[in-house]
A = this chain, B = another copy of it.
Amino acid sequence: MTEERKISMAVIRRLPRYYRYLGELLDNGVTKISSRELSEKMKVTASQIRQDLNNFGGFGQQGYGYNVEYLHKEIAKILGLDKTHTMIIVGVGNLGQALANYPSFSKRGFNLIGLFDINPRLIGMSMRGIEVMDIDKMEDFVKTNKVDIAILTMPKTRVKETAENLAKWGVKGLWNFSPVDLFLPEHVHVENVHLSHSLMTLAYKINEAEELDNGNDYKPF
């Protein structure tokens, strides 16, 4: 990929939202849409939409708008959703189980193939037809099966070591739900979901609005 073509992660992070809206349009039988109409639906400026989508060579035709199905497919390709990905979940507590039962993942080609935990009460249980295995068996499993993504929903104390092992064993991506930052070799990709960060940001928004209402302000000193 040449330097000029390198798409910023800010744009990439907006693509899933375009993908979602286009999917809904498709479901509703809409075959074409202008950037203006899409702009009204998504509450994003039409110029932002054109700019974002121009990154990929532009899919729109002047005076016609976007072909919804085509654009939806192309975004899927860019995101790699035209391929399937195998996933394992490491840590099958409440959150791990919630993710194991997420119906939309498999619809998009993310196929769960293994569940691992350390807790003897969970080992041997079956979820979505997959048996929870002892974490001791994970090395063998990962080395034998092609595992693309490991979902880390385990206690934070063991995350660093586990992530390093998974990287060594050939997992390509880690979806990390622990409040721990992972610094790993470049060939392993990490995406963090720090739930408490998100909740704190919400608290900030609420708090800031109240301070303004009260005529207060954060006072630097």
Contact = CB atoms under 8 A, between A and B. Distances in A.
Interface stretch (A90-98, A137-145, A157-165): A90-98
Contacts of A77: 218
A72 to B, nearest CB: 13
B101 A94 contact: yes
Interface stretch (A27-35, A118-126, A194-202): A194-202
Interface in A37-62: 42-43, 56-58
A172 interface: yes
Residue of A208, A212, A221 most packed against chain B (CB within 10 A): A208
Contact of A191 (B2, B81, B199): B199
A156 to B, nearest CB: 10
> Copy number in this complex?
2
Interface residues of A, number: 71
A20 B148 CA distance: 29
B203 A1 contact: no
Interface in A200-221: 200-212, 217-218, 220-221
Interface in A63-79: 77-79
Contacts of A211: 1
